[in-house]
Structure 1
Amino acid sequence: MSEFKQWLIERLKIEQKRFDRSGVYAYTQKIVAYNSNKIEGSKLTLEQISSLFDNGTLPISDDYYRAKDVEEMNGHFLMFNYMLDTLEEELAENLIKQLHCELKSGVFEDRAKGYAIGDYKKRPNMIGMYKTALPKDVETEMKQLLDWYYKQEKSMKTLAEFHARYELIHPFQAGNGRTGRMILFRECLKYNELAPFIILDDDKSKYLEGLKEFREHHKIDQLLELMQKEAETYYQECQYFID
């Protein structure tokens, strides 16, 4: 896995700089953006996202395109690039806020609603019927979460708990899931002990059940099992690009 990770990081960075749209960088950008946004309700297809990423256009369609879907997809591409550019840095509050800023700064609807962009939420929000951290408590809870994370041995189990706790805090007004899943991918690239993975929309129900299991029973068994499964899937897909 360490040899694969070294190859993957090198190729992602080289192809990013070359604006290469034919290799593992483009594949990963598209798959991450498609699945993470679709989990949150995006209507764009993988074909449409590929066109948007490759040449900045959308195919002619009999249906309409939602401006927010397009804006968030472009923001997701930028968030991925920022993640790669800062891979050597330690995970910190300012870095997480900037991930959110890259994702959301071009989204008109969120700005029109007065949402904080690149900063913690100013209004209470919920996950379905479950309450999350109040705005006044977010900074403290995020500091506590990161302090805990720094002290842990970096393992998939640690990362699963970090993500579940992050989602319970729900630090931003919107875009929590996408920033949270980008952090997962980032930390897996950063640490040799972790295998990179992408949560697929096909597994959305398992993913949500895993978060629910932690929320209600403080267990991460389902989430950890899913992450390990997705890591194997991503590894197998990347074999196509290895010479």
Structure 2
Amino acid sequence: MSEFKRWLIERFKIERKRFDRSGVYAYTQRAMAYNSNKIEGSTLTPEQTASLFDNGTLPVNDDYYRAKDVEEMNGHFLMFNYMLDTLEEKLTENLIKQMHYELKSGVFEDRANGYAIGDYKKRPNMIGMYKTALPKDVETEMKQLLDWYHKQEKSMKILAEFHARYESIHPFQDGNGRTGRMILFRESLKYDELVPFIILDDDRSKYLEGLKEFREHHKVDQLLELMQKEAETYYQECQYFIS
């Protein structure tokens, strides 16, 4: 593992244990939760996200806060911690389901709608105009995807293809993008050949175009280029915390 990633994982563990809200662990939690939720339509700002993470409160605001946005932001913080706790484990269906559970178990709207929490979808869903795997096929397709992934030599291109295929399956009723992007961060943190990164909301259109390119042409060129760019951005941001 690269020296940078060894340092990063060590700081994550130390700062989390100390409830440190001033280092790279807090920066990464806030940045990932804000951007990943924002890509999915969250209305919370970076400042509001930081306040939730730092002390569990929201600043006084003349506008209303959407309960779902707050619940999903808190769920994302929990999902990140679960990812850290299980970093040494093999990526499995059960691990992915538990990540989804951490993200969604506190979301009232999803429970009220009867969505499966921590389990595969029970109803068909679409990505815009694109159909995804039917509920009856999800388990088979996820097994095939993971079997394929674990046989590959890890590279950013393989990770890009894994993500694009995962999003095409769309295994959960909601929260697919956020669990998928957490898997990206996890696997890129875990394997020597990869560099960790966060997909930024500023690059949302490029990200969606990359997923579209895979659905229509089975290519990951755009997605791979974006991931490499985001890896460099995250690495440079982390340099601030290295003394």
TM-score of the aligned structures, taking structure 1 as reference length = 0.99
Counterpart in the other structure of 1:143:
143
Counterpart in the other structure of 1:83:
83
Counterpart in the other structure of 2:205:
205
Distance 1:10 1:162 in 2: 27
Give the CA deviation at 1:16: 1.0
Q: What letter is aligned with 1:194?
A: L
Counterpart in the other structure of 2:168:
168
Give the CA deviation at 1:224: 0.1
Counterpart in the other structure of 2:59:
59
Counterpart in the other structure of 2:187:
187
Q: Tell me the alpha carbon deviations over residues 12-49 of structure 1, each in whole angstroms, 9 at most, x when there is no partner.
A: 11111111111000000000000000000000000001
Q: Tell me the alpha carbon deviations over residues 162-211 of structure 1, each in whole angstroms, 9 at most, x when there is no partner.
A: 00000000000000000000000000111011000000000000000000
Q: What letter is aligned with 1:93?
A: E
Matches within 5 A, 1:1-243: 2-243=2-243
- For the residue of structure 1 that corresponds to 2:157, the secondary structure is helix
- For the residue of structure 2 that corresponds to 1:87, the secondary structure is coil
Structure 1: which 4+ aligned runs deviate by more than 3 Å?
A: none
Count of residues in correspondence between the two structures: 243
- Unaligned regions of 5+ residues in structure 2, if any? none
- Unaligned regions of 5+ residues in structure 1, if any? none
- For the residue of structure 2 that corresponds to 1:81, the secondary structure is helix
Distance 2:39 2:190 in 1: 24
TM-score of the aligned structures, taking structure 2 as reference length = 0.99
Alignment RMSD: 0.6
